[in-house]
């Protein structure tokens, strides 16, 4: 009898653990990106997707809108078979704390695959603002409460980074809402607003050309691409940390064997030298942490931004 059972397992007559992943994948995998084409998250998704080697193409699809909630709901409600994935960003850790009636849960509705990379942010001011560095900027803001006009996308990472800065520094800006980063940067270049906090990937050329003044970065360490720009942490805002990120999720209940196959591939792709070198040159810190790393990272991010939202009493309709 033992011999018969052994033979049945060998030939697949009895399903072994993870057997649901046998034959996976046998059709294209869709990687849903919650922002329009051309942005930092989209660019990262496409660079990584083209390096996935599972024998089928990984097709990047953009489903932008509603602060990433459209894309996230779409993936959360998809079949947990490994063929529909989400390249989530910072709003994934913010939306459940910020909005009422979000039709999914950032943790319970998804299975983490891997954190891919983090996008540090930088505090920029228009050259007309009469300051040379962050300390002068903070002093000017304290002397002129709500005079400095600072742009942000309501509910976005830059909005919450501004709230965190105001809280830690004891300053108050006049916040100007925007629907996206592009019009916000256009207004900053034109001098219609005074400052923004934004991911570095979109502003490096502008900094080098003198269109903006970079006063500080928002990570806990200086950036190789902006080595002379200090961190807010070292400038006295101890523990200040803000930024965006990209991580891959599958729907909840995706089989463990499928999760492992996907995680192995996304980690390998993110560490591929040409991908790593290109994205690092734009300021992206490639992490490639795997499922547990992403699970822990997401929990920390949710806690961090929930505290900021609660403290600042932020409400976005």
Length reported for the chain: 317
| The pair of three-digit structure tokens given for residue 306, joined into one six-digit string | 């929930």
Q: Which CATH superfamily groups domain 2-119+245-312? A: Bordetella uptake gene, domain 1 (3.40.190.150)
Q: How far is Cα 169 from Cα 93, in angstroms, rounded to an integer? A: 24
CATH superfamily of the domain spanning 120-217: Periplasmic binding protein-like II (3.40.190.10)
Residue with tokens 């961090």: 304
CB 247 within 8 A of CB 163: no
Angle at 36 between CA 251 and CA 302, to 5 degrees: 50
Residuewise pLDDT in 10s, the chain (317 residues): 444 434 343 443 333 333 346 799 999 999 999 998 988 899 999 999 999 999 999 999 999 999 999 999 999 999 999 999 999 999 999 999 999 899 999 999 999 999 999 988 999 999 999 999 999 999 999 999 999 999 999 989 999 999 999 999 999 999 999 988 889 999 999 999 999 999 998 899 999 999 999 999 999 999 999 999 999 999 999 999 999 999 999 999 999 999 999 999 999 999 999 999 888 888 888 899 999 999 999 999 999 999 999 998 887 76
All structural domains of the chain with their residue ranges: 2-119+245-312, 120-217
- Give Cα 153 to chain centroid, integer Å: 14
CA distance 285 to 116: 9
What span, in angstroms and rounded, lies between the C-alpha atoms of 10 and 32? 37
Decide if 81 contacts 258 (C-beta within 8 A): yes
Question: Would 2-119+245-312 and 120-217 be classified into the same CATH topology?
Answer: yes
Structural Rg of the chain based on CA atoms? 22
Distance CA 69, CA 66 (A): 5
């Amino acid at each position: 009898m033992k011999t018969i059972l052994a033979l049945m397992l060998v030939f697949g007559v009895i399903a072994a653990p993870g057997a649901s992943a046998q034959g996976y994948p046998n059709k294209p995998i869709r990687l849903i990106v919650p922002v329009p084409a051309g942005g930092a998250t989209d660019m990262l998704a496409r660079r990584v997707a083209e390096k996935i080697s599972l024998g089928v193409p990984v097709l990047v699809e953009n489903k932008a809108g509603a602060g990433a909630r459209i894309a996230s709901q779409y993936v959360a409600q998809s079949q947990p078979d490994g063929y529909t994935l989400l390249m989530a960003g910072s709003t994934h850790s913010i939306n459940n704390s910020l909005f009422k009636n979000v039709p999914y849960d950032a943790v319970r509705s998804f299975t983490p695959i891997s954190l891919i990379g983090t996008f540090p942010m930088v505090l920029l001011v228009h050259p007309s603002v009469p300051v040379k560095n962050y300390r002068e900027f903070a002093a000017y803001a304290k002397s002129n409460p709500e005079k400095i006009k600072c742009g942000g996308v309501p509910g976005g990472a830059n909005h919450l980074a501004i709230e965190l800065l105001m809280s830690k520094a004891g300053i108050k800006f006049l916040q100007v809402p925007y629907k996206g980063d592009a019009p916000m940067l256009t207004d900053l270049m034109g001098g219609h607003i005074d400052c923004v906090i934004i991911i570095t990937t979109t502003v490096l050329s502008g900094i080098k050309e003198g269109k903006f003044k970079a006063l500080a970065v928002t990570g806990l360490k200086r950036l190789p691409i902006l080595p002379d720009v200090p961190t807010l942490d070292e400038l006295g805002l101890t523990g200040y940390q803000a930024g965006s990120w990209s991580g891959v999720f599958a729907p909840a209940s995706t089989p463990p064997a499928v999760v492992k196959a996907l995680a192995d591939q996304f980690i390998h792709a993110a560490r591929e030298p040409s991908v790593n070198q290109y994205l690092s040159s734009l300021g992206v810190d490639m992490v490639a942490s795997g499922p547990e790393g992403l699970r822990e990272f997401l929990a920390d991010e949710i806690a961090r931004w929930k505290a900021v939202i609660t403290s600042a009493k932020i409400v976005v309709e």
